[in-house]
Amino acid sequence: MSVERVTTVVVGAGHAGLAASHFLTARSIDHVVLERGEVANSWRRERWDSMRLLTPNWLTRLPGLAYAGPDPDGYLTAGEVSAFIEHFAAVARAPVRARTNVEHLGRTDTGYRLTTSGGELECRSVVLATGACNVPTVPAFAAAVPSGVEQLTPFGYRDPSSVPEGGVLVVGGSATGVQIAAELQRSGRQVVLSTGGHVRLPRLHRGRDVLWWMDRSGVWDQRYDEIEDLPRARRLPSPQLVGSPARETLDLNALTDLGVSLVGRWAAVRDGWALFSGGLRNVCSLADLKMNRLLSGFDQWAGITEPGVPLAPTRVPDRPRLRLDLRGGEIRTIVWATGFRPDYSWLDVPVLDGKGRLRHEGGVVDSPGLYALGLPLLRRRRSTFLNGIEDDARAVTDHLAGALAVAR
């Protein structure tokens, strides 16, 4: 079988891979973009039905393309996001090869060799743009959950009708967890939410979207090399936000008002009982403290001295439940909203640390000619959002182009 040769291969045709393609084209670097499914595949196939972007539409932008619709303060649905990314691919004339799965990536003397479902390629450089949310993370003790309890991840959840009748235990207090918990509770289910450390934010601060403050104050532009504990910052869960037309705040207080029961972090399963940490009050107090510091920082940046309307502290049950009998019928389903991780099972290059995380410096991977995009806090705090990919992709392709020029 013949081997195709190209200068650069981009793996992934989501917004990150397409942004890389945009800048590679601008530099006249021949390349292909390989995609296991279709353009914006994860937005098409791996999102629940009611999901919307956390960022308002006016922040929705990719290199050379910005939202131009009639609702700048709204929030795009998953279908609208996939359409926006697909339009970007067409405008950028990205050389996408859809339904091409990368099965193996290894080094050669001159670069890299990829084995794909469509044949083999050799190239001098590779951009890994497969994202950070390929595989849901589920704790090992999930195997000890009684067999009569259904277990789902956000990839398997579509809407309340996809969940068996009865009570639901949602595990995880990130944006995903609180959104799914609220939707299930509103559908008439009794929901218990288990949460450890989380990021609490109001949807609006002084009448403006809280992400307007993140954008304009410069918080989002903080660089990765300016952050004291970068590994911890990259592991932070997504903030408790929802992109609803009503621009509502969806935090633990809002869930309590809906009737959701709160418990602490799920620590173990023993003899059919779910055991929860007793630290719920502490983690909620810490989340409140961090939120108030952030909002005060926004006010200081804006020169605002008059006090605003403070958010009420998170209300925690006087005696949160420390265990729950999973065999008693109260809980019929568990939804694991406990985060995601990248899938590097096909990557045969020694660039992963002991926990399976990619070793990179601002997207420059620890192997000459290998790059990454679309990972949390890759170069700036805004890296994970659509509006953050332009600067990241430009910097990474600048480095890639410089390395190619030196190697000639």
pLDDT along the chain (408 residues), means of 10: 92 97 98 96 90 96 96 96 97 97 97 97 98 91 96 96 96 97 97 97 97 97 95 94 95 98 98 97 97 97 91 95 96 96 95 93 97 97 95 98 88
b/e map of 161-176 (b: 16 or more CB within 10 Å)?
A: eebeeebbbbbbbbbb
pLDDT at 133: 85
pLDDT (0 to 100) of residue 340:
92
The answer to whether 361 and 348 are in contact (CB under 8 A) is: no
Go through the domains of the chain in sequence order and give each one's CATH number.
3-134+342-407 (3.50.50.60), 137-336 (no CATH)
Which residue from 154, 165, 146 is spatially nearest to 78, judged by alpha carbons? 154
Tell me if the pTM is above 0.85. yes
Name the nearest CA neighbour of 175 among 75, 313, 61: 75
- pLDDT for the residue numbered 345: 94
* Residues with Cβ within 8 Å of residue 51, at least 6 apart in sequence: 77, 78, 179
- 77 secondary structure, DSSP code: B
The predicted pLDDT at position 123 comes to: 98
CA distance 405 to 92: 24
Structure tokens belonging to residue 403: 């390395």
What's residue 40's pLDDT?
A: 94
Rounded to an integer, what distance in angstroms lies between the CA atom of residue 237 and that of residue 153?
A: 16
According to the model, what pLDDT value does residue 2 have? 85
